[in-house]
A = this chain, B = another copy of it.
């Protein structure tokens, strides 16, 4: 039944569209993932999500513990509706304790899932970008504008990474940093013999989600019509 609904919905999209889904899904990966810790500005968060889509990084973990003035997460989500965004928010009112727990929980969760967690930091003991390896599943953590990744997230991380800087200006904007770090790691991944692609099941599920996403406001009426037709059979 669910398979039939899925086929029914697919028929409502053009062949070109469905072919694009097939092309894009081939390059999707969960071997690399991204964590955004309290990135305040919506345009920065959106730009990072856009970069993830461009590079095929499917999962983004968004920590919003300190940011009570957070832009509507749906907006940034809308900018990259093709991604899987995992939200981590504190349940309680912002306090130091709850803030720390959200970041730490997110990182521990990723480590339990087998990720090596690499946080961006200008600290002296951090690796230059060209030394980062991705043999293991890897999560890259980007921090808030100005203050960077929190101390708590840094101490939970397995490694640190920085982009070498040689000028008077000593930092890139977070959206620029993300692209500069993620692009070569993606190239490295594609050139490796790592099994980085999604499984057939994951691909099927993702395409089904993309189909529904594409149908937008016509999805609900189409499902109703499908159910009516099924009822008449």
Which of B20, B164, B171 makes the CB contact (< 8 A) with A168? B20
**Do the beta carbons of A53 and B169 come within 8 Å of each other?**
yes
Is there an interface contact between A172 and B82, defined as CB atoms closer than 8 Å? Answer: no
* A20, B166: Cα distance in complex, Å: 11
Point out the residues of chain B lying under 8 angstroms from A51, CB to CB.
172, 176
Q: Does A54 reach chain B (CB closer than 8 Å)?
A: yes
Verify A167–B47 contact, CB threshold 8 A. no
A163 at the interface (CB under 8 A from B): yes
| A169 engages B50 (CB within 8 Å) | yes
Q: How far, in angstroms, from A82 to B27 measured CA to CA in the complex?
A: 41
Judged by a CB distance under 8 angstroms, whether A18 is at the interface is: no
- Binary interface profile of A, 201-228, with partner B (CB < 8 Å = 1, else 0)? 0000000000000000000000000000
Task: Tell me if A176 and B130 are in contact (CB < 8 A).
Answer: no
Hey, which chain B residues are within 8 Å of A73, CB to CB?
A: none
Q: Give residues of chain A (41-55) contacting chain B, Cβ–Cβ below 8 Å.
A: 47, 50-55
A residues 1-59 touching B (CB-CB < 8 Å): 20, 24, 27-28, 47, 50-56
Taken together, the copies of this chain in the complex come to 2
What per-residue 1/0 map shows which CB atoms of A169-200 lie under 8 Å from chain B? 11111011001100110110000000000000
Interface pair A165/B54, CB less than 8 Å apart:
yes
Chain B residue numbers with a CB within 8 Å of A24 are 166-168
- Cβ 8 A contact of A187, one of B53, B80, B164, B186: B164
Least distance between A1 CB and chain B CB atoms (Å): 29
Q: Among B55, B165, B167, B171, point to the contact of A167 (Cβ < 8 A).
A: B55
Report B-chain residues with C-beta under 8 Å of the C-beta of A130: 187
Q: Given A53-B169, A129-B187, A179-B179, output 6 extra A-B contacts at Cβ < 8 Å.
A: A20-B168, A54-B166, A55-B165, A80-B169, A82-B168, A173-B175
